[in-house]
């Protein structure tokens, strides 16, 4: 079993809809949670960064962390075709070296 599980999709939504993405994990030591966006042939771009449980909002993006359930989510409101990309969740235990553990990524397609 992988430490971080993420549905690979593809997830297809119409423009303007809410995109809902999630990851589950097994390592209770994870304390830092990130969402990256990766366009085709590009490197991952950091979207959201949260520590421990709770919600964080940034523009159209909302990240949620539920450590008791070992479950994290990312919501994208008012989705645009430019949001079409692969979304990767990543986690870290916050020890002395910043090893990030990634999910496999979910491909999102926003259709006009």
Partner 1 sequence: ETGVTQSPTHLIKTRGQQVTLRCSSQSGHNTVSWYQQALGQGPQFIFQYYREEENGRGNFPPRFSGLQFPNYSSELNVNALELDDSALYLCASSLEAGANIQYFGAGTRLSVL
User: Could you list the residues that contact partner 1 (CB under 8 A)?
Assistant: 4, 6, 8, 32, 34, 36, 41-46, 49, 88, 90, 92, 94-105
Q: How far is the CB of 35 from partner 1 (least distance, A)?
A: 12
Q: How far is the CB of 47 from partner 1 (least distance, A)?
A: 12
Cα–Cα distances in angstroms (integers) from residue 94 to residues 15, 52, 61, 71, in the given order: 37, 11, 24, 18
CB nearer to partner 1: pick between 16 and 94: 94
CB nearer to partner 1: pick between 6 and 79: 6
| Radius of gyration in angstroms for the set of CA atoms belonging to the chain, rounded to a whole number | 14
- Residue 85, strand partner residues: 108
Q: How far is the CB of 109 from partner 1 (least distance, A)?
A: 16
Q: How far apart are CA 22 and CA 100, in angstroms?
A: 17
Cβ contacts of 100 within 8 Å, gap of 6 or more: 34, 90, 91, 92
CB nearer to partner 1: pick between 14 and 43: 43
Q: How far is the CB of 16 from partner 1 (least distance, A)?
A: 28
């Amino acid at each position: 079993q992988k430490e971080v599980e993420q549905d690979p999709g593809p997830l297809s939504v119409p423009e303007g809809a809410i995109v809902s993405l999630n990851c589950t994990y097994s390592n209770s030591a994870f304390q830092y949670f990130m969402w990256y966006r990766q366009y085709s042939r590009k490197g991952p771009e950091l979207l959201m960064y949260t520590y421990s449980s709770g919600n964080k909002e940034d523009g159209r993006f909302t990240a949620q962390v539920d450590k008791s359930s070992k479950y994290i989510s990312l919501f994208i409101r008012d989705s645009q075709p430019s949001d079409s990309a692969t979304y990767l969740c990543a986690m870290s235990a916050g020890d002395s070296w910043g090893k990030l553990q990634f999910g496999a990524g979910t491909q999102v397609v926003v259709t006009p």
